[in-house]
């Protein structure tokens, strides 16, 4: 029979001093905060570096650390705006799907944020683990960014629109054909406290098998 070791006192799980009540609150308080709710002030670069430092402590199978980040701030945001709008125009005009409003949006959107972090997944040469595992690791890193931002009172959200799925955009972000561009994290100082959200009961999505 399978024996499961259960600590006598659940507070001893992990044998550390972390405040689990605060941690649970932090997870619940994490929200996507959108640029229309940013003040326009610049977030301290030191905080953005902390977001990225914590991102790199995400789990990663075989320690491949597949996450890659390019941070755009200041005039860098204009470079991103110009690249993504022109890339969008070129690709969609060829396909006949060009939309003027979308183009104008891509030209303006980066400047609504303090920083925009392009997020990529880089395959290691040996392809040590399947692609989906590497993408999973990067999304774990993204969650670390979200949670760290919450802890520092910073707003952010992940956008997977724009040129995210454009093969033609990858090289601008230092990514090759085997790699993936996974999205853009927009960062800013929130105008007001993040709102609430809701989730369905986890019991609806969980099955326990204990005997």
Among the residue ranges 50-58, 106-114, 147-155, 157-165, the one whose residues contact ligand FMN (CB under 6 A)? 157-165
Q: How far apart are CA 154 and CA 81, in angstroms?
A: 22
* Residue 161 engages ligand FMN in binding (rule: CB under 6 A): yes
- Which of the residues 64 through 93 are near ligand FMN (CB under 6 A)? none
Among the residue ranges 39-47, 63-71, 101-109, 156-164, the one whose residues contact ligand FMN (CB under 6 A)? 156-164
- Which CB sits closer to ligand FMN, 149 or 175? 149
End-to-end CA distance of the chain: 9
- Smallest distance from the beta carbon of 208 to ligand FMN, in angstroms? 25
Pick from 54, 92, 128, 159: which binds ligand FMN (CB under 6 A)? 159
- Which CB sits closer to ligand FMN, 60 or 150? 150
* Residue 165 engages ligand FMN in binding (rule: CB under 6 A): no
Give me the 174-203 binding string for ligand FMN, x by CB under 6 A, dash otherwise. Answer: -----------------------x------
Q: How far apart are CA 85 and CA 144, in angstroms?
A: 29
Interface with ligand FMN (CB under 6 A): 31-32, 157-161, 197
């Amino acid at each position: 029979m399978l024996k499961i070791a259960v600590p006598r006192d659940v507070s001893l799980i992990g044998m550390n001093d972390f405040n689990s009540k605060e941690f649970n609150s932090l997870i619940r308080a994490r929200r996507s905060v959108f640029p229309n709710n940013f003040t326009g002030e610049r977030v301290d670069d030191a905080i953005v570096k902390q977001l990225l430092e914590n991102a790199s402590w995400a789990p990663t199978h075989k320690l491949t650390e597949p996450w890659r980040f390019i941070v755009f701030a200041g005039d860098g945001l204009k470079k991103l705006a110009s690249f993504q709008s022109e890339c969008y125009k070129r690709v969609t005009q060829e396909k006949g799907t060009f939309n003027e409003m979308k183009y104008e949006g891509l030209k303006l959107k980066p400047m609504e944020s303090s920083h925009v972090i392009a997020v990529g997944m880089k395959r290691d040469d040996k392809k040590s683990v399947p692609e989906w595992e590497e993408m999973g690791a990067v999304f774990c890193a993204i969650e670390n960014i979200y949670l760290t931002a919450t802890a520092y009172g910073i707003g952010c959200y992940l956008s997977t629109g724009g040129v995210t799925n454009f093969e033609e955009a990858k090289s601008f972000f230092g990514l090759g054909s085997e790699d993936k561009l996974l999205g853009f994290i927009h960062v800013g100082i929130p105008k007001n406290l993040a709102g609430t959200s809701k989730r369905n009961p986890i019991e609806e999505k969980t099955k326990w098998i204990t005997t």
